[in-house]
Homo-oligomer: A and B are copies of this chain.
């Protein structure tokens, strides 16, 4: 089964960029690591969530910092007329939001795209640990800077770029993040791609109909190929040109 392969793939990788692993507070990481010198006391719970399910709403985030251990998820802001905006895709090792290190009730919800494993770290314990070992801050600063950078990029894309550019840049951005996690498939231009077109639409501020038309155009020009929840960049140079037209 396709989902079984995805599941295993998700289990085996992704931790290498995880802040919790970096900070040595994860109790059972998926990758091999040297045994922790001293076991840090950060309470945590683990949850497996099937695809398309809501992981949590902004109001539910009581006192934990959740981190994705495997699978893909999306941070979504809902508007009263039913339209949605995805502000961020979450890959293995990503915190739902770095602001959750402190208190913060974001007005959003997290949806699982694929089956997802999530680990919830106790915020109070994390903060106590942080105040005791300020050098741990650097781990979270890195995630913070990365989050901010992607967020600014998205603002520019939505404000000043065409549909073609937005979609190409979304795909390339995800490809780069997957590469860093060593989650490429086969060659360096083939990746797991579980997004539905409506996910792309919600992330790029477009309609699903128009996303379909743009992707068809990409295929017609032999830039990319999408099938079997997988994407191949056939013409990296040409596709990069589409993504960086200005």
Chain B residue at minimum C-beta to C-beta distance from A144: B99
> Can you report 5 residue pairs joining A to B where beta carbons are below 8 Å apart?
A85-B156, A144-B144, A151-B151, A154-B155, A158-B158
Would you list which residues of chain A between 189 and 246 have a CB under 8 Å from chain B?
204-205, 245-246
Interface string of A116-133 (1 = CB under 8 A from B): 000000000000001100
Q: Which of B77, B137, B155 contacts A85 (CB 8 A)?
A: B155
- Neighbouring B residues of A137 by C-beta, 8 Å: 130-131, 137
Q: CB < 8 Å: which of B81, B131, B144, B205 contacts A158?
A: B205
In the complex, per-residue mask of A71-100: 1 if CB is within 8 Å of any chain B CB, else 0:
000000101110111010000000001110
Question: A108 interface residue, CB < 8 Å from B?
Answer: yes
Tell me how many residues of A have a C-beta within 8 Å of chain B: 40
Most buried by B among A106, A141, A151, A152: A152
Chain B nearest CB, measured from A173 CB (Å): 14
Cβ A145 vs Cβ B104 within 8 A? yes
Flag if A160 contacts B205 (CB, 8 Å): yes
Which residues on B sit within 8 Å (CB–CB) of A85? 155-156, 159-160
* Contact partners of A84 in chain B: CB under 8 A: 160
Taking a contact as CB atoms closer than 8 A, the residue among B108, B131, B147, B246 that contacts A135 in the complex is B131
A245 to B149, CA, bound (A): 30
Q: Is A46 an interface residue (CB 8 A)?
A: no
A80 close to B246 (CB less than 8 A): yes
**How far is B246's CA from A81's CA once the two chains are assembled, in angstroms?**
5
A-B pairs, 9 with minimum CB distance: A159-B205, A158-B158, A81-B246, A131-B134, A85-B159, A102-B141, A85-B156, A79-B246, A104-B145
Bound complex: CA of A147 vs CA of B97, how far in Å? 13
* Interface of A, helix, strand, loop or mixed by DSSP: helix
A53 beta carbon closer than 8 Å to chain B: no
Q: Assess the A102–B145 pair: CB atoms within 8 A.
A: yes
Distance, CA A116 to CA B155, complexed state (A): 25
Contact B156 A77 (CB under 8 A): yes
Smallest beta-carbon distance A57→chain B, Å: 15
CB contacts (< 8 Å) of A148 on chain B: these are 97-99, 104, 147-148, 151
Q: A102-B145, A149-B106 are in contact. Are A156 and B79 (CB under 8 A)?
A: yes
